[in-house]
Structure 1
Amino acid sequence: MASAQDEPKKPLPPGSSVGRLLGFLSDKSYDFYKNPVQFFEKNAVDFKSRIFQSRFLLKPTVFVGSNHGLADVLSDGGEFTELGYKTFMGQIYGDNILFTDGKPAEELRDALSQLFTDDCVKTYQQTIDRIVEKEILNLDISKPVCLYEFYKKMVTEICLSLFLGLDFEDTSDVYDTITSLTTTHWHGIISVPLALKIPGTGKESTFKQALQAKDKLLEVIKERRGTSKKGFHQKLEEIHELDEEAINNHLLLFTSALVPKALASLLTSFSLEVGQHNKVSWQKMCLLDEEFMDQMLLEVQRYYPPFLGGRRVVTKNFEVDGYTIPAGHAIVYLTFAAHRDPSIFENPNQFYPGRWKNSTSDTQKKLFCFGYLSRGCVGERLVWAIIKTILTSLLKKFELSLVDNQDLSYKWLPVSRPKTDVLFKFTTRPP
């Protein structure tokens, strides 16, 4: 493990303790948030290690960017660490599977999994098909389209229809209200977690507004549960492990902006690759060859994970990829870095779907886009049903291409996406 006070800067031998950070070591939070990718890459080079320590959020922190290291962190099951963002994020979302760890997380995941089996996803498919067909039919291609916004709107409607049973052809006013609330609620994630009024303005802080939006969304959820006696929420009520508060909090999670933004991120990243002039042929290949489509989606996960990573706090000495991290330290694990670990992926900074041809499940487990083992995404089957339906339907009807001379650079926080509203041109595909 490398440290800023080491001279020369070399990682400590495997099995050694990361040691104690000197009190005068400057906090690196600003540098990280300013450009997390650049922060990691610079330190990985300086310390000659994909695992190094610094001071982050005023706490000695180990940054983990090796693939093996990330697997260690995500598979600990809460035995050595606790979630580093539960106090803050828990206020925004309430207690749910996202902030549950250890044995309770495994039990909750098993309970929720029964709602996302292959058979269950098939029952959701009709709703997905209906909304996707409607949105694509109404797409105005007379001018360039910002696909990120298009995808986000479509997935938002899918989620609210599936999880709350809303039909937006009849309740467009409710849709506008809910989407406005989910936007305000989401902004709390990237704000300073203080619920107060801004001095001199009389306005509530962004975080306070997010908490107020959360309360209003929960009111909508309770109202929908009372008036609609069918659909996903009714199945959720049949899970004995969930009390009333847990049911409402999970519906809040599933209908919040979190899922639409994550899926819109993956869909946009896919489109950016196949929309390049020298890769347009990939679109037809995806339609003709399902295996190639799967390879594309695996590579999109690897190269463009929607979420940068996460944070945990070590509760007792914890070994990560051969390094012992002392209790009291924090861990920031970086999914994007683990996905570009050169010891695992050849030419990691090249987008190359062919690397997944004939890949095994063990190789695919080196992707952490949807978590890992007990921290895996319970709704992954549904996610892929939505993504594949959208892409297949869109590509059958249109050929898309990027508008020339655009800034295609990415930002990674809070969700990975292009820094600007990247535009695409659409051409109707011949029958």
Structure 2
Amino acid sequence: MNIFITSLLFLIPIFLLLSRTRKTSKRIPPGSLGIPVIGQSLGLLRAMRANTAENWFQERIREYGPVSKLSLFGKPTVFIYGQAANKFVFTSNNSMLANQQTQSFKMILGDRNLLELSGPDHKRVREALLSFLRPESLKQYVGRIGEEIRKHLEMYWQGKQQVTVLPLMKILTSNIICSLLFGLEEGTQRDKFVACFEEMVKGIWAVPINLPFTRYNRGLRESARVQDMMKELVHEKRLQLEGKSASPHQDLITFLLSIRDEDGKEVLSEKEIVQNGALSMVAGYETSAIAITFIIRLFANEPAVCAAVLQEQQEIAKSKASGESLTWDDLAKMKYTWRVAMETLRMFPPVFGGFRKALTDIEYDGYLIPKGWQIFWVAPMTHMDNSIFPEPSKFDPSRFEKQASVPPFSFIPFGGGPRMCPGNELVRIEILITIHYLVTHYEWKLAADNLFSRDPMPEPSQGLPIKVWPRELS
């Protein structure tokens, strides 16, 4: 009898636990976690490289519905999509969801960058970055950005019969960012910084295996060099500010150093300035370069669109004296060009999607998302939704003639809500000025096939080689 009672007492907690697990598991979204550790990661990566990722997710939606579970990069994940899903991801408070970056991203960029912070720290650092990157502040840098673009075209495009667009656009955007964010002008210091930075970025997207000769290992080493160079920059600029030989608006670093609290102390620590400076370069380096590259690709495929952009840009060029820089007011006139850019971002968003982490058990659309699980959102699922954007595969800039006609949280190349990319205005300026000088000075046609793949960002076949020649203006 005692053995029976002891066994019963032992089995009751197990029975209750199993009952609770069974009850809970019924509320977890449908789907499969797949093979341990690997899950569906390889299938998704293959689909992205083959440019069939949207179909891959559509198959999941047909089988499981708009909410389903899977395993990505070693972690249980819930995939959600749609306007309501985007709103949930981008507007949920910090006690419910947190940013979830890959291990390699965190180890290379550090734990004090904006994408790793939450709560008051996230708000403090974001507000500091936005103060520099808001339109009112960026107005004064339009001329400097234009000068970088003109120098780039003279060096890499002028007199050439063929160029490869994507690597050149990466050079251009890294030069703009080095000048604007760090005050690094042409020379060996900037060249060394950019070379280290490029290796660091490769490590961010690598498998986090820290063995010699791996991309991750090189990324870690170059990250240490980049941060050492940035610490030296911070020290130099702090001395310049103290000696009043530098303006607080000289570049991002001096600006962040100049922000003080009520007690006169720096709002951001040196570590936060260094890591968020590096993050700003990562965010603006590839995304802008890819966006401009796909617009150039588009113009070769859509001559009528190119002609309409050219007409708008020629009107602006006629109003400028020879060698005169573009101004903020000129950018405001580029309405059609920006609609073309937004339609390009809709069809080919540089960032395919992203992760959030559930900080607590979350009820969503009738399902339970357990604490600690990842939530995965995907931009093309609303960008290419026929019920939101009719004939989504057709390039149609008129979709953006009236911004109010675009449903909220459906167009998300820069994210949304309080987590929207703080550098989206800088991206707009880079795109508009670059397109202005390109279309008014050059014509081109594709010199390779029209394919592209994602790894993880979209890249045209062979980096988009084009045959280029000077534009004959009437």
| TM-score normalized by the length of structure 1 | 0.86
CA distance in 2, matches of 1:145, 1:364: 39
Q: Which moved more, 1:25-34 or 1:292-301?
A: 25-34
Spell out, residue by residue over 1:386-429, the C-alpha distance to the aligned partner (whole angstroms, 9 max, x if none).
211111121121233323xx222222222222132212233323
Q: Secondary structure at the match of 1:241?
A: coil
Q: Secondary structure at the match of 1:420?
A: helix
Q: Secondary structure at the match of 1:191?
A: coil
Residue number in structure 1 paired with 2:417: 373
Task: Determine if the alignment matches structure 1 residue 262 to structure 2 residue 287.
Answer: yes
Residue number in structure 1 paired with 2:138: 121
Within 5 Å, give how 1:110-149 maps onto structure 2.
Answer: 110-138=127-155, 139-149=157-167
Q: Secondary structure at the match of 2:355?
A: strand
Task: Determine if the alignment matches structure 1 residue 164 to structure 2 residue 182.
Answer: yes
CA distance in 1, matches of 2:433, 2:466: 19
CA distance in 1, matches of 2:31, 2:402: 45
Distance 1:47 1:248, change over 3 A: closer
CA distance in 2, matches of 1:35, 1:44: 12
Task: Determine if the alignment matches structure 1 residue 45 to structure 2 residue 59.
Answer: yes
Within 5 Å, give how 1:264-303 maps onto structure 2.
Answer: 264-276=289-301, 278-279=303-304, 280-287=306-313, 290-303=334-347
CA distance in 2, matches of 1:347, 1:234: 47
Distance 1:178 1:242, change over 3 A: same
Higher percent of residues as helix: 2
CA distance in 1, matches of 2:437, 2:409: 28
Letter in 2 for 1:215: A
Residue number in structure 2 paired with 1:66: 82
Are the counterparts in 1 of residues 83 and 408 from structure 2 also a CA contact under 8 Å?
no
Offset of residue 318 of structure 1: 2.7
Letter in 2 for 1:89: F
CA distance in 2, matches of 1:352, 1:127: 32
Are the counterparts in 2 of residues 314 and 328 from structure 1 also a CA contact under 8 Å?
yes
Residue number in structure 2 paired with 1:316: 360
CA distance in 2, matches of 1:388, 1:322: 44
Are the counterparts in 1 of residues 54 and 380 from structure 2 also a CA contact under 8 Å?
no
Cα RMSD, aligned residues only: 2.5
Which residue of 174, 192, 215 maps to 2:224? 215
Within 5 Å, give how 1:10-409 maps onto structure 2.
Answer: 17-19=27-29, 27-36=39-48, 38-45=52-59, 47-48=61-62, 49-85=65-101, 87-94=103-110, 95-138=112-155, 139-168=157-186, 171=187, 173-197=188-212, 204-228=213-237, 229=240, 230=246, 231-232=250-251, 233-239=253-259, 240-256=266-282, 258-276=283-301, 278-279=303-304, 280-287=306-313, 290-320=334-364, 323-360=367-404, 363=407, 365-403=409-447, 406-409=448-451
Letter in 1 for 2:214: S
Are the counterparts in 2 of residues 156 and 260 from structure 1 also a CA contact under 8 Å?
yes
Are the counterparts in 2 of residues 80 and 318 from structure 1 also a CA contact under 8 Å?
yes
Are the counterparts in 2 of residues 125 and 385 from structure 1 also a CA contact under 8 Å?
yes
Distance 1:216 1:361, change over 3 A: farther
Are the counterparts in 2 of residues 77 and 101 from structure 1 also a CA contact under 8 Å?
no
Q: Secondary structure at the match of 1:35?
A: helix
Q: Secondary structure at the match of 2:407?
A: helix
Distance 1:59 1:114, change over 3 A: closer
CA distance in 2, matches of 1:387, 1:23: 41
Distance 1:29 1:364, change over 3 A: same
CA distance in 2, matches of 1:322, 1:391: 47
Offset of residue 126 of structure 1: 2.4
Spell out, residue by residue over 1:171-202, the C-alpha distance to the aligned partner (whole angstroms, 9 max, x if none).
2x2233122211110111222212233xxxxx
Unaligned 5+ runs, structure 1: 1-15, 198-203
CA distance in 2, matches of 1:117, 1:328: 34
Q: Secondary structure at the match of 2:207?
A: coil
Are the counterparts in 1 of residues 32 and 69 from structure 2 also a CA contact under 8 Å?
no
CA distance in 1, matches of 2:382, 2:435: 27
Offset of residue 24 of structure 1: 6.3
Are the counterparts in 2 of residues 68 and 321 from structure 1 also a CA contact under 8 Å?
no
Q: Secondary structure at the match of 1:400?
A: strand
Q: Secondary structure at the match of 1:332?
A: strand
Q: Secondary structure at the match of 2:415?
A: coil
Distance 1:77 1:418, change over 3 A: farther
Letter in 2 for 1:407: D
Residue number in structure 1 paired with 2:318: none
Q: Secondary structure at the match of 2:87?
A: helix
Are the counterparts in 1 of residues 227 and 274 from structure 2 also a CA contact under 8 Å?
yes
Are the counterparts in 2 of residues 274 and 283 from structure 1 also a CA contact under 8 Å?
no
Q: Which moved more, 1:149-158 or 1:108-117?
A: 108-117
Max Rg structure: 2
Residue number in structure 2 paired with 1:416: 458
CA distance in 2, matches of 1:191, 1:322: 36
CA distance in 1, matches of 2:311, 2:207: 46
Are the counterparts in 2 of residues 31 and 39 from structure 1 also a CA contact under 8 Å?
no
Letter in 2 for 1:385: I
Q: Secondary structure at the match of 1:242?
A: coil
Distance 1:47 1:338, change over 3 A: closer
Spell out, residue by residue over 1:317-349, the C-alpha distance to the aligned partner (whole angstroms, 9 max, x if none).
334466543334322211122311233221222
Residue number in structure 2 paired with 1:425: 467
Unaligned 5+ runs, structure 2: 1-25, 241-245, 260-265, 316-332
Overall identity of the aligned pairs, in %: 21
Letter in 2 for 1:187: K
Are the counterparts in 1 of residues 295 and 341 from structure 2 also a CA contact under 8 Å?
yes
Letter in 1 for 2:467: K
